[in-house]
Amino acid sequence: MRDLKIIFMGTPDFAVETLKTIIENNYDVVGVITAPDRPAGRGRKLRASAVKEYALSKNLPILQPTNLKDEKFIEDLKQLNANLNIVVAFRMLPKVVWDMPKYGTFNLHASLLPQYRGAAPINWAIINGEQKTGITTFFIDEKIDTGHIILQKEVEIQHNETAGSLHDTLMTKGASLVVDTIKAIESETVTTKIQPKEDNELNTAYKLHRDNTRVNWNSNIQTIYNLIRGLSPYPSAWSLLHNKGEEISIKIYDAEIEQQEHNFDIGKIIVEDSIIKVAVSQGYIILNKIQLPGKKAMEAKALLNGYTFYKDAKMA
């Protein structure tokens, strides 16, 4: 059995669950690398990452480099004398970092690689209407998410799954997969599988931005629904709302499908019995929770208590 000394690298809540599980399994974490504290909130006070907060609670050594190639950081890393790096939801590492430990550096990725390499695999799996996804551990190499696969676990995507609920499922299952990977490395039983270099049938988890998160109301009803739930709660789908001569940008957090024939123009908003519906091909998208500019996200019924959709109201 190998005597492992682990450095953990991660930043958000998704990574905390893995670090917590590693500690609970009594592995020796000699250091934690996380993002520098950043201004947050209205007061713009510096806020520690979720990983840093957990690491502090366990009195773990912490490094917060702004530059992963900085000579002092590299020297501090060497002084920790680790022989295994574990990466969960962190930045792309330079070779000098990932090639340093004797037993390598492995990463947890929230998809079944080689599918959905990239920045937003959870979101894109839902947006594209997949019925399954999963998590993968793999050894890091020079490119993004292309290293040799160690372990994978498949997870079903429910018909009403959101990015938020799938995130939480993969976070928990991913933590368990990381521990299984550590055990394989510790016992010298680890085996790997090479990923294909090029494949035209692979989906990519592109970075999310304003252009690819906007609802196209001319799309089919299922495509629109998948986009909304694939972007909920973050960063959220959005649309322009035209209402009595005013044009505003709204965010959509929760919706459902009503398949029914109608003669309304695409994008037409219909309000009836405290329900907000948008006419699309093949039926309606019911808006259960939306956010107006400068306001908090609200359920449809509560929103209608203080906001009026006029007869010309339309999504665009």
The answer to the question of whether 108 is labelled as a binding residue is no
The answer to the question of whether 111 is labelled as a binding residue is yes
Sequential DSSP letters for 147-161: SPEEEEEEEEPPTT-
Greatest alpha-carbon span in the chain = 72
The single residue listed with the structure tokens 């530059």 is: 67
Phi, psi angle pair for 139, to nearest 5°: -75, 130
Q: Which CATH architecture has domain 5-186?
A: 3-Layer(aba) Sandwich (3.40)
Instruction: Note the pLDDT tens digit of each residue in 44-62.
Output: 788 999 999 999 999 999 9
pLDDT, averaged across the chain = 96
Instruction: Note the pLDDT tens digit of each residue in 120-157.
Output: 999 999 999 999 999 999 999 999 999 999 999 999 99
- For CA atoms 169, 172, 175, 179, the dihedral sign is negative
- CA gyration radius for the chain? 23
| 211-315 and 5-186 share a CATH fold | no
pTM (2 d.p.): 0.95
* Domain coordinates in residue numbering, the chain: 5-186, 211-315
Q: Which CATH architecture has domain 211-315?
A: Roll (3.10)
**DSSP H helices in the chain:** 13-24, 50-57, 71-79, 95-98, 121-127, 163-186, 221-230, 300-304
pLDDT tens digits, the chain, 316 residues: what are they?
999 999 999 999 999 999 999 999 999 999 999 999 988 777 778 899 999 999 999 999 999 999 999 999 999 999 999 999 999 999 999 999 999 999 999 999 999 999 999 999 999 999 999 999 999 999 999 999 999 999 999 999 999 999 999 999 999 999 999 999 999 999 999 999 999 877 778 999 999 999 999 999 999 999 999 999 999 999 999 999 999 999 999 999 999 999 999 999 999 999 999 999 999 999 999 999 999 999 999 999 999 999 999 999 999 9
The answer to the question of whether 93 is labelled as a binding residue is no
User: What are 152's strand-pairing partners?
Assistant: 136
For residue 164, what are the CA distances in angstroms to 36, 228, 229, 247, 315?
25, 12, 9, 29, 25
Q: Which two tokens stand for residue 301?
A: 């019924």
Q: Which residues contact 33 (CB under 8 A, 6 or more apart)?
A: 7, 8, 9, 10, 62, 63, 64, 65, 77, 90
Of 210, 229, 208, the residue nearest 164 (C-alpha): 229
The answer to the question of whether 231 is labelled as a binding residue is no
Residue type, 267: G
